[in-house]
A and B are shown apart, each in its own frame.
Chain A
Amino acid sequence: MRILVVEDDAQAAEFLRRGLVESGHVVDVAGDGKLGLSMALDVDYDVLIVDRMLPGRDGLSLIRMLRADARHTPVLVLSALGQVDQRIEGLRAGGDDYLVKPYAFSELLARIEVLARRVRPGGEAVVSTLLRVADLELDLEHHRVTRAGRRIQLQPRELRLLEYLMRRPGRVVTRTMLLEQVWDMHFDPQTNVVDSQISRLRAKIDRDFDPPLLHTLRGFGYRLGAESC
């Protein structure tokens, strides 16, 4: 993937660049908002990573300008401003995801891969109602889940979790991503509600079947896919 990092903290930008390059991406770095905007308009990037507080032009206005120019490049906003209303502000400005500093690099990696995947195959209009991962099928129109042709009964909240995972097959999704994007919880509960939801889902889709599809990467996140890690 071709990624543009707009970040004024040189050390943080270098750290990001190295990490992303090691993960096999092509990375450009812009040190301020003005340069960042002109680069984002000139080059067709797959993902932008934009720091919120930038010299020249702040991150949110950069995103607004970009969206005003009808560019739908997915943007991940990075910010030290982590309160709920500040996140919402970031997303309303046109950001696709919001990550609060300090963040785990693995979390960032998981998020940009999911972001890029979301738009990539032929524009965003394709919202398929029939999802398939290996022999697991989800028919969103009829709320039907089958594996190897056998019907599986799921509750609505389990369905929503499964849909989120099935739309990102083979990708790592983190605990925070699930909390934010599946349950709209912008905080970290002390109890392990995410794990118990995953266990419930796994019990229904994996217990009686082979191979296991829903994998847990300890201390990292979850992944849905036939191939084990």
Chain B
Amino acid sequence: MLTWFKQRTRVLRTSAMRLALRYALLQVGVLALALLALFWTTYRYVQLDIEASLSHELASLRELPQPLLLERVQALAAHMQGTQRLRDYVLLTADGVQIGSPIEAWPEGLPTDGRVHQIVLHFTDSALDRDEDAKLPAIASVLPDGSRLLIAQEAGHLEDMRDVLPWVALALLLLAAGLSLALGLALGRRWLGRVEEINHTTAAIMQGALGARVGLSERDDEFDVLARHLNAMLERIEQAVNGMREVSDNVAHDLRKPLSRLKTRLELALRDAGTPEDDRRVMQAAIADADELMRSFEVMLAIARLEAGSAIPAPEPFDLSPLLRRIADLYADEAEAAARPFTVEIADDLPVSGSAPLLAQAFANLLDNAMLHTAAEVAIAVRVYRDDAHAVIEVIDHGAGIPADLHARMTERFSRGDAARTLPGSGLGLALVRAVVAAHHGAMALAATPGGGLTARLRLPLREA
């Protein structure tokens, strides 16, 4: 009962209901004004019509010669007597004889100017048991022989209209108000229903059911648009949360490994009391482990910041060519030391906007990958060229390559090819490259090198001159 009542009052508190109430009020007001205007104009026209008709009849009666007029007035008055009377006729002859309708006395206040005036007439009619005053439109005139003629219009239907119209208006107004309120109530309930749906969903999500989505109707109305947007937002959030969960799983996994290695190393050293030399070696190895952990950590942080869109707060214009050349030269020297074929081909003048240190790191990561994941004699080529409005950076190796279906997966965090599991590295390299490139509005792709091997290709938009 209480909930039912609450449900009702909730409908009353909806914005739809409030809107409907306001509209009902406005509607009733406007309708009342309209009816009033209509009533007034109709009344006025009817009156004008009556005046014209009275003047016309008076004029035509005046035309008649005296004896005929007398008969005619008597006939008209008699005709009107029995049935529903429409008009009253009174003729007061010069010698004071009054014939025609049963008016008590000639109304002295009525000017005999042939114009219509409103005048109070007193009727006494014993036959109809009539004894009343009535204010009627009347017209009077003095005839050439000194007699006076009066024609008055009985109110009849006009009176009825004046009586009935207010009731009709009231009924109409009530109907309009009722309809508006009913509409508001219906709308309110419907809106409440749709909002309730959204509330249920958000409540479910707050309880932890991240997969919950707002149901859609088939109407494709504004609620559906809202629901779709909400669902899209929830999708995005769920992805982010899942991504985060995945990352923390991976972090737990990939950071736990070097951490446990570090711990084991120290525990073993503690147990087997070695020479100070041994201890030093263990300590150095432990520091190296810690450094590797820190590095992974920094890279993860960098990726997270890039993906949150906050890492390049102040992009700066610079030329990609000398930056890449400087790094490529360092790697070329290292390749030379290992007798590895290494070719560098970098176009001049590649103006970009962004973070030089981050792009340098991305490029170095690609080179690191090529160097670490191929045998020492495998040829590596660096090709950087301009392609329309983009700079294209290619690091091409002719090694074993990776299966094409793994290309997309390789850029995920901590993703490592099976062959690479035993090699050093956090598996974050390509994920960082992808994040850096994305933050520069570029794209990264892995492809098979024709004839075997892997090609990593970055496309970066050039800065417009």
Contact status B295-A83, CB under 8 Å: no
B48 contacts the other chain (Cβ, under 8 Å)? Answer: no
Contact status A82-B355, CB under 8 Å: no
Contact status B334-A196, CB under 8 Å: yes
Q: In the complex the two chains form, what is the Cα distance from A186 to B298 in whole Å?
A: 11
Q: Out of B311, B314, B331, B358, which one reaches A191, CB within 8 Å? A: B331
B442 contacts the other chain (Cβ, under 8 Å)? Answer: no
Q: Out of A82, A104, A185, A200, which one reaches B327, CB within 8 Å? A: A185
Contact status B364-A189, CB under 8 Å: yes
Contact status B301-A83, CB under 8 Å: yes
Q: In the complex the two chains form, what is the Cα distance from A62 to B334 in whole Å?
A: 42
Contact status A193-B302, CB under 8 Å: no
Contact status A85-B311, CB under 8 Å: yes
Which residues from 155 to 210 on chain A have a C-beta closer than 8 Å to any C-beta of chain B?
Answer: 157, 183-193, 196-197, 199-200
Contact status A193-B333, CB under 8 Å: yes
Q: Which residue on chain B has the smallest CB distance to residue A203?
A: B337
Q: In the complex the two chains form, what is the Cα distance from A183 to B356 in whole Å?
A: 12
Interface flags for B148-169 (1: CB within 8 Å of A; 0: not) read 0000000000000000000000
Number of interface residues of B (CB under 8 A): 37
Contact status A85-B313, CB under 8 Å: yes
Q: In the complex the two chains form, what is the Cα distance from A4 to B288 in whole Å?
A: 29
CB-CB under 8 A from B429, the residues of chain A are 190
Contact status B334-A191, CB under 8 Å: yes
Q: In the complex the two chains form, what is the Cα distance from A192 to B330 in whole Å?
A: 10
Q: In the complex the two chains form, what is the Cα distance from A191 to B369 in whole Å?
A: 9
Q: Which residue on chain A has the smallest CB distance to residue B314?
A: A85
Q: Which residue on chain B has the smallest CB distance to residue A81?
A: B301
A122 contacts the other chain (Cβ, under 8 Å)? Answer: no
Q: In the complex the two chains form, what is the Cα distance from A82 to B361 in whole Å?
A: 14
B371 contacts the other chain (Cβ, under 8 Å)? Answer: yes
CB-CB under 8 A from B311, the residues of chain A are 83, 85
Contact status B368-A189, CB under 8 Å: yes
A84 contacts the other chain (Cβ, under 8 Å)? Answer: yes
CB-CB under 8 A from A187, the residues of chain B are 357, 360-361, 364
Q: Which residue on chain A has the smallest CB distance to residue B362?
A: A187
CB-CB under 8 A from A183, the residues of chain B are 326-327, 330
Contact status B295-A188, CB under 8 Å: yes
Q: Which residue on chain B has the smallest CB distance to residue A106?
A: B287
Which residues from 334 to 390 on chain B have a C-beta closer than 8 Å to any C-beta of chain A?
Answer: 334, 337, 355-358, 360-361, 364-365, 367-368, 371-372
Q: Which residue on chain A has the smallest CB distance to residue B337?
A: A196
Given A102-B294, A188-B295, do A193 and B331 touch, yes or no (CB 8 Å)? yes
Looking at the assembled complex, report how far the CB atom of A160 sits from the nearest CB atom of chain B, in whole angstroms: 10
A121 contacts the other chain (Cβ, under 8 Å)? Answer: no
A219 contacts the other chain (Cβ, under 8 Å)? Answer: yes
Contact status A197-B360, CB under 8 Å: no
Contact status B312-A102, CB under 8 Å: no
B401 contacts the other chain (Cβ, under 8 Å)? Answer: no
Contact status B424-A190, CB under 8 Å: yes
Given A184-B360, A185-B327, A191-B372, do A84 and B333 touch, yes or no (CB 8 Å)? no
Looking at the assembled complex, report how far the CB atom of A207 sits from the nearest CB atom of chain B, in whole angstroms: 14
CB-CB under 8 A from A102, the residues of chain B are 290, 294
CB-CB under 8 A from B258, the residues of chain A are none
Q: In the complex the two chains form, what is the Cα distance from A191 to B365 in whole Å?
A: 9
Q: Out of A82, A104, A191, which one reaches B371, CB within 8 Å? A: A191
CB-CB under 8 A from A188, the residues of chain B are 295
Interface flags for A116-158 (1: CB within 8 Å of B; 0: not) read 0000000000000000000000000000000000000000010
Looking at the assembled complex, report how far the CB atom of B67 sits from the nearest CB atom of chain A, in whole angstroms: 122
CB-CB under 8 A from A199, the residues of chain B are 337
B305 contacts the other chain (Cβ, under 8 Å)? Answer: yes
Contact status B355-A84, CB under 8 Å: yes
CB-CB under 8 A from B326, the residues of chain A are 157, 183-184
Contact status A84-B358, CB under 8 Å: yes
Interface flags for A96-118 (1: CB within 8 Å of B; 0: not) read 00001010100000000000000
CB-CB under 8 A from B302, the residues of chain A are 83-84
Looking at the assembled complex, report how far the CB atom of A56 sits from the nearest CB atom of chain B, in whole angstroms: 26
Name the residue among A82, A189, A200 with the largest chain B CB count within 10 angstroms.
A189
B132 contacts the other chain (Cβ, under 8 Å)? Answer: no
B15 contacts the other chain (Cβ, under 8 Å)? Answer: no
Q: In the complex the two chains form, what is the Cα distance from A188 to B372 in whole Å?
A: 14
Contact status B368-A185, CB under 8 Å: no
Contact status A190-B368, CB under 8 Å: yes
B284 contacts the other chain (Cβ, under 8 Å)? Answer: yes
Q: Out of A104, A186, A196, which one reaches B333, CB within 8 Å? A: A196
Q: Out of B290, B295, B334, B372, which one reaches A193, CB within 8 Å? A: B334
Name the residue among B290, B311, B364 with the largest chain A CB count within 10 angstroms.
B364
Q: Which residue on chain B has the smallest CB distance to residue A190?
A: B368
CB-CB under 8 A from B358, the residues of chain A are 84
B425 contacts the other chain (Cβ, under 8 Å)? Answer: yes
CB-CB under 8 A from A193, the residues of chain B are 330-331, 333-334
Interface flags for A72-91 (1: CB within 8 Å of B; 0: not) read 00000000001111001000
Q: In the complex the two chains form, what is the Cα distance from A83 to B429 in whole Å?
A: 16
Rank and list the top 4 A-B pairs by shortest CB-CB distance, nearest first.
Answer: A196-B334, A190-B368, A84-B357, A193-B330
A-B contact pairs, 29 of them (CB 8 A): A83-B301, A83-B305, A83-B311, A84-B355, A84-B357, A84-B361, A85-B311, A102-B294, A104-B287, A157-B326, A157-B333, A183-B330, A184-B326, A184-B357, A185-B327, A185-B361, A187-B357, A187-B361, A190-B368, A190-B372, A191-B331, A191-B368, A191-B371, A196-B330, A196-B334, A196-B337, A197-B333, A199-B337, A200-B337
Q: Which A residues form the contact surface with B (CB < 8 A)?
A: 82-85, 88, 100, 102, 104, 157, 183-193, 196-197, 199-200, 219
Known A-B contacts: A197-B333, A200-B333. Give 17 more (CB < 8 A). Answer: A83-B298, A84-B358, A85-B311, A85-B313, A85-B314, A157-B330, A183-B330, A184-B326, A184-B357, A184-B360, A185-B327, A188-B295, A190-B372, A190-B425, A193-B331, A199-B337, A219-B284
Q: Which B residues form the contact surface with A (CB < 8 A)?
A: 284, 287-288, 290, 294-295, 298, 301-302, 305, 311-314, 326-327, 329-331, 333-334, 337, 355-358, 360-361, 364-365, 367-368, 371-372, 424-425, 429
